[in-house]
């Protein structure tokens, strides 16, 4: 069976039967957390974690794949056979990914499509090690360094001990493969794959593998047609199938050993995304010898270095396993992408070298997921690596034109919505990972947030009408779920505000704090929900808050609370604390709801909800709800996690919750309080200081805070002191089994909210020199070619215009456009998707709007006063028909 032993005895949780229990001795801390990790947790029930060998943030993650092969983890605990051991994996990304170069040991005749049965009784894993005995008599043991893997295969005594290389066996197939027999103990090759969630990009992975004694024969099977593999889930929408690859090269290779004299065959593999030569160099730099046990020990120690930065005491053995396994999952991604010589392939498909002052380039950003919790915990626990991860994001911007949204290796997929790089970078900084080019980071964030682009499609609509209508169209980059997308942009804007403020840029701090408040434009006080709002300003009819229409992986029930930077403002908009409490009570009455009316703490949009009780004077309800989630969703079993782990995001939520706090507000170091699960936790902070959380009476049935102290003084607030993440200190809890409804219940005890200045909907008109007339988008149309007409001035969205910083005039998310880039008198003016063309540029000159491309002015034909007349361009003549002003 799987090893579950601990190197130190842990105290079991003791039920406390009184509200104010007496203090008890703090149990000994876990001294070897890597030994507590159980990599099989999360390998079933769609969590899609994987149990194989790796080191923190490793390029190589050598792990078994099973036939059902869900998503990027590749392993389903309930399967009974193994198809191969591939070199790369992603933990629960929601779409198939990686799984490159599966290698399967077999005995007897060559069968390149073989699988082999196994029993979990013959399987074992810990942090940095995996082993399994297959029913064919072969035992496989795996361990890893950052860029290489090591295997120990113990075969039966036979002349036909084989290793099958399934070269076209990546999760999404392989378009091109190479296979080279270097000599009778070395093989090299490459595979080309990609197409994550149906995206068009590809990457090439190169490998070189050596054996500790020669093989007797080798060979290949020729290319065959490869099937496109549709993803089973794309976050939010039904995925496209990956393009059907045109395979070139062999679809498999094999080597055969004679093990009648020695049954153990050891192998060392190097991986690179640059070249075979670099794969060789990675292997030799990181594992020059043949000592499997030494490599395993080094991997174990690497894990202890980071896991040991959060040292827990107390709790049950199962709780300790869940905690350290969750922290282990947090630290699997992003992944080192550069080689030992510093080279890597960039987003421009050119080879680059890691910048001076940084150790590595990193890849694989599950942005929509990780900005909520994993980014903060990564910075807190691994500030050096996380600083390099932040710098990698800036490099991706330089080479690819945008900060990563959901990127795999060196390609952007545009999966999911929002602009998650902003809260990721801001949170990295806030939680102590600060060794990156912060000035460039802010400049990149501002540029990406200032005009509609592939990373923020539909952004123009936030200028006018101030929200994203359901009619919104954008012909690029996975734009959907406008209500969710708007809320995501709001969070991103607030994160920019927080980051700008931290860097001393007061103007952008205020600008983006204010723009973040446009969530108010999609909150309907009459329904009490975030609700789709049509282009004409009316609320969409037939609204059902339990429906996922216009939302992303959730419903309005789940998204209405997603204003994590201004929970106070949301409660006020609802009508006060009692209304907010009623909403939270209802949505959190189930924690993994199936019908859309309840929270789903197996997915990201609901993660904020339990902690929002802190903002309305009811922290005891947060304490109870979080403990229910821990008990109902998290166990130490393979199915002990609901929903995809999403590259460690869900695991990070558990880690913070078990510590008794949560980073509710992305981009800040604000931590809302729950209650700790362990009697003590000691965090080694990036600053070098220590943050200690003491709760001597902590127990599963004692989630309620009776009182607290900070550095010995009474603490009656539902948040962590702002100095805790830098200066450290000691937070001591007295916990009990019954709620203390008075603790931290006052309005001043709530965690910070950031209201900005709520400016409401923009009201600027494009007013004609003809009295009482305005430029109007016909019928609130958002389709390209909708005519821009003369109309009586009214207060509606069709007449709300915005002067863009790029010399455009915008309304309803589109631009005032000269038809077909015309330059002749009488060319009509229309609404068109903003495209940065000269046909959409307008300069103010003597009260007129001049199109520089044609040199002609925006004109009311024949100075008409007839409503519905389409505007045009005409030779500038200074008449009232060519006078226009942007005014309220």
pLDDT digits (tens, 9 = 90+) for 519-542: 999 999 999 999 999 999 999 999
Please state at what angle helix 374-381 crosses helix 649-659, rounded to 10 degrees: 70
Q: Would the pLDDT of 19 be above 70?
A: no
Confidence of residue 80 (pLDDT cuts 50, 70, 90): very high
Which has the minimum average pLDDT: 332-346, 797-811, 838-852? Answer: 797-811
Structure confidence by residue, pLDDT tens digits, 628-677: 999 999 999 999 988 899 999 999 999 999 999 999 999 999 999 999 99
Does the pLDDT at position 17 exceed 90? Answer: no
CB atoms within 10 A of CB 755: 14
Q: Which CATH architecture has domain 39-301?
A: Distorted Sandwich (2.70)
pLDDT band at 759 (very low <50, low <70, confident <90, very high): low
- Residue 805 scores a pLDDT above 90: no
- Express as a percent the part of the chain with pLDDT over 90: 86
Task: Please say if the pLDDT value at position 508 is more than 50.
Answer: yes
Lookup result for tokens 């200190």: 729
State pLDDT tens for residues 141-195: 999 999 999 999 999 999 999 999 999 999 998 889 999 999 999 999 999 999 9
pLDDT higher than threshold 60 for residue 236? no
Q: Is the peptide bond before 334 cis (omega within 30 degrees of 0)?
A: yes
- Give me the pLDDT at residue 305, please: 98
Q: Which CATH number fits domain 310-749: 3.40.50.2020, 3.30.2080.10, 2.40.160.40, 3.40.605.10?
A: 3.30.2080.10
Q: Does pLDDT of 446 surpass 90?
A: yes
Q: What is the band of 238 on the pLDDT scale with cuts at 50, 70, 90?
A: very low
For position 668, what pLDDT does the model report? 98
Higher pLDDT among residues 818 and 802, named by residue: 818
Task: Round to whole Å and give the CA distance between 667 and 657.
Answer: 19
Cα→Cα distances 760→73, 239, 331, 451, 516, Å: 45, 36, 41, 20, 11
Contacts of residue 221, Cβ cutoff 8 Å, sequence gap at least 6: 112, 250, 251, 252, 253
pLDDT of residue 735: 98
Helix (H) or strand (E) holding 584, with range, is helix 577-587
Query: How does residue 453 score in pLDDT terms, banded at 50, 70 and 90?
Result: confident
CA atoms of 170 and 117, how far apart (whole Å) = 20
Instruction: Give me the DSSP letters along 459-503.
Output: GGGGTTTSS--TT----SS----HHHHHHHHHHHHHHHHHHHHHT
Identify which of 832, 197, 808, 797 has the alpha carbon closest to the alpha carbon of residue 473.
Answer: 832
Cβ neighbour number for residue 111 with a 10 Å cutoff: 13
413 close to 406: Cβ distance less than 8 angstroms:
yes
Q: Does domain 765-887 have CATH number 2.80.10.50?
A: yes
On the question of pLDDT at 730 being above 90, the answer is yes
Sign of CA dihedral 64, 69, 73, 75: negative
Rounded Cα gap, residues 816 and 760, in angstroms: 23
What mean pLDDT is predicted for residues 758-770? 85
Between CA 810 and CA 812 the distance in angstroms is: 7
Res. 875: pLDDT tops 90: yes
**Which of 724, 616, 614 is closest to 669 using CA atoms?**
724
Closest by CA to 471, choosing from 463, 483, 487, is 483
* Average pLDDT estimate for 11-29: 45
Average of pLDDT values for 298-327? 98
* Number of C-beta neighbours around residue 658 at 10 A: 27
Quote the mean pLDDT of the chain: 93
CB neighbours of residue 477 within 10 Å? 18
Judge whether residue 26 has pLDDT over 70. no
In the predicted structure, residue 24 carries a pLDDT above the cut 90? no
Residue 475 pLDDT greater than 80, yes or no: no
Q: Which residues, in sequence order, are CB contacts of 134 under 8 Å at separation 6+? A: 82, 105, 116, 117, 118, 122, 140
Instruction: Please state, in angstroms and rounded to a whole number, the distance separating the CA atoms of residues 562 and 605.
Output: 7
Residue 763 confidence class, pLDDT cut points 50, 70, 90: confident
Structure tokens at 683: 């965090």
DSSP one-letter string for 366-434: EHHHHTTTHHHHHHHH-HHHHHHHHHHHHHHHHHHSS--SEEETTEE---SSS-THHHHHHHHHHTT--
The H or E element spanning position 439 is helix 438-448
Of 409, 421, 418, which Cα lies nearest the Cα of 477? 418
Q: pLDDT tens digit string along 362-386? A: 999 999 999 999 999 999 999 999 9
CA–CA gap between residue 189 and residue 271 (Å, rounded) = 10
pLDDT above 50 (res 6): no
Q: Residue 250 has what pLDDT?
A: 92
CATH topology of 39-301 equal to that of 310-749? Answer: no
- Model confidence over 685-712: pLDDT tens digits? 999 999 999 999 999 999 999 999 999 9
This prediction has a pTM of 0.93
Q: Is the confidence at residue 564, as pLDDT, over 90? A: yes
The pLDDT tens digits for 460-473 are 898 889 999 998 87
- What is d(CA 177, CA 747) in angstroms, rounded to the nearest whole number? 63
pLDDT number for residue 221: 85
Instruction: Tell me: pLDDT of 230 over 60.
Output: no
Place of tokens 């009619």: 471
Domain spans in the chain, listed from the N-terminal domain onward: 39-301, 310-749, 765-887
Return the higher-pLDDT residue of 625 and 222: 625
What pLDDT was estimated at residue 4? Answer: 30
């Amino acid at each position: 069976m799987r090893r579950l032993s601990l190197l130190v005895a842990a105290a079991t949780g003791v039920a406390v039967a009184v509200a104010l229990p007496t203090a008890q001795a703090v149990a000994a801390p876990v001294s070897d957390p890597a030994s507590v990790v159980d990599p099989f947790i999360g390998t079933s029930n769609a969590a899609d974690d994987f149990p194989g060998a790796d080191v923190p943030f490793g390029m190589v993650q050598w792990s078994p794949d099973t036939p059902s092969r869900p998503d990027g983890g590749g392993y389903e605990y309930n399967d009974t056979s193994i198809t191969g051991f591939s070199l790369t994996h992603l933990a629960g990304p929601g779409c198939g990914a990686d799984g490159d170069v599966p290698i399967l040991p077999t005995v007897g005749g060559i069968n390149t499509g073989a699988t082999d049965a196994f029993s979990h009784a013959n399987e074992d894993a810990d942090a940095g090690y995996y082993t399994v005995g297959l029913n064919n008599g072969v035992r496989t043991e795996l361990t890893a360094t950052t860029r290489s893997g090591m295997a120990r295969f113990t075969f039966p005594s036979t002349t036909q001990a084989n290793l099958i290389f399934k070269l076209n066996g990546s999760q999404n197939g392989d378009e091109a493969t190479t296979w080279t027999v270097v000599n009778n103990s070395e093989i090299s090759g490459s595979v080309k794959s990609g197409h994550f969630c149906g995206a068009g990009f590809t990457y090439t992975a190169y490998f070189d593998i050596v054996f500790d004694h020669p093989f007797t024969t080798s060979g290949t099977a020729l290319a065959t047609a490869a099937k496109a593999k549709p993803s089973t889930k794309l976050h939010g929408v039904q995925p496209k199938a990956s393009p059907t690859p045109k395979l070139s090269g062999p679809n498999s290779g094999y080597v055969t050993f004679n093990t009648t004299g020695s049954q153990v065959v050891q192998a060392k593999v190097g991986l690179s995304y640059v070249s075979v030569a670099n794969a060789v160099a990675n292997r030799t730099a990181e594992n020059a010898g043949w000592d499997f046990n030494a490599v395993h020990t080094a991997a174990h120690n690497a894990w202890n270095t980071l896991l040991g930065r959060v040292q827990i005491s107390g709790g049950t053995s199962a709780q300790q396993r869940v905690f350290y396994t969750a922290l282990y999952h947090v630290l699997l991604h992003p992944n080192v992408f550069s080689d030992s010589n510093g080279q890597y392939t960039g987003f421009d498909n050119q080879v680059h070298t890691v910048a001076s002052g940084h150790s590595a380039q990193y890849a694989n950003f599950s942005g929509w997921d990780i900005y909520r919790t994993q980014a903060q915990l990564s910075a807190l626990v691994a500030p050096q690596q996380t600083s390099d991860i932040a710098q990698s994001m800036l490099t991706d911007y330089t080479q690819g034109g945008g900060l990563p949204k959901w990127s795999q290796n060196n390609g952007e997929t545009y999966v999911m919505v929002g602009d998650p790089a902003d809260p990721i970078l801001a949170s990295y900084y806030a939680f102590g990972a600060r060794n990156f080019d912060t000035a460039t980071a802010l400049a990149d964030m501002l540029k990406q947030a200032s005009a509609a682009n592939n990373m923020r499609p539909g952004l123009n609509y936030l200028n006018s009408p101030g929200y994203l209508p359901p009619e919104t169209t954008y012909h690029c980059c996975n734009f959907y779920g406008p209500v969710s997308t708007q809320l995501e942009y709001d969070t991103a804007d607030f994160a920019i505000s927080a980051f700008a403020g931290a860097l001393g840029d007061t103007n952008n701090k205020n600008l983006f704090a204010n723009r973040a408040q446009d969530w108010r434009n999609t909150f309907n006080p009459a329904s009490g929900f975030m609700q789709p709002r049509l282009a004409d300003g009316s609320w969409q009819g037939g609204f059902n808050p339990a429906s996922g229409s216009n939302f992303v992986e959730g419903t309005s029930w789940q998204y209405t609370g997603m204003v994590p930077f201004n929970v106070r403002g949301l409660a006020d908009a609802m009508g006060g604390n009692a209304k907010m409490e009623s909403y939270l009570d209802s949505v959190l009455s189930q924690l993994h709801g199936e019908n859309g009316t309840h929270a789903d703490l197996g997915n990201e949009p609901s993660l904020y909800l339990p902690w929002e009780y802190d903002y309305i004077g009811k922290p005891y309800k947060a304490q109870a709800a979080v403990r229910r989630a821990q008990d109902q969703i998290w166990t130490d079993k393979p199915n002990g996690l609901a929903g995809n782990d999403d590259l460690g995001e869900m695991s990070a939520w558990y880690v913070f919750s078990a510590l008794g706090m949560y980073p509710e507000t992305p981009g800040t170091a604000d931590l809302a309080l729950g209650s700790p699960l362990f009697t003590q936790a000691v965090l080694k902070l990036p600053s070098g200081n220590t943050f200690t959380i003491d709760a001597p009476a902590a127990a599963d049935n004692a989630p309620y805070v009776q009182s607290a102290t900070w550095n010995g003084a009474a603490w009656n607030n539902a948040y962590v002191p702002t100095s805790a993440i830098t200066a450290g200190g000691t937070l001591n809890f007295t916990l009990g089994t019954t709620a203390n409804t008075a603790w931290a219940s006052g309005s001043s005890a709530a965690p910070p909210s950031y209201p900005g200045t709520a400016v409401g909907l923009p009201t600027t008109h494009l007013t004609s020199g003809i009295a009482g007339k305005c430029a109007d988008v016909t019928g609130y149309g958002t389709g390209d070619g909708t005519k821009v007409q003369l109309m009586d001035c009214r207060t509606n969205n069709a007449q709300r215009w915005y002067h863009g910083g790029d010399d455009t005039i915008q309304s309803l998310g589109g631009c005032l456009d000269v038809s077909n880039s015309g330059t002749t008198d009488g060319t009509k003016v229309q609404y068109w998707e903003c495209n940065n063309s000269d046909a959409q540029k307008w300069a103010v000159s003597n009260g007129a709007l001049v199109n520089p491309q044609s040199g002609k002015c925006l004109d009311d034909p024949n100075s008409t006063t007839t409503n519905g007349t389409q505007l045009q361009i005409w030779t500038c003549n200074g008449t009232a028909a060519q006078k226009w002003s942007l005014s309220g």
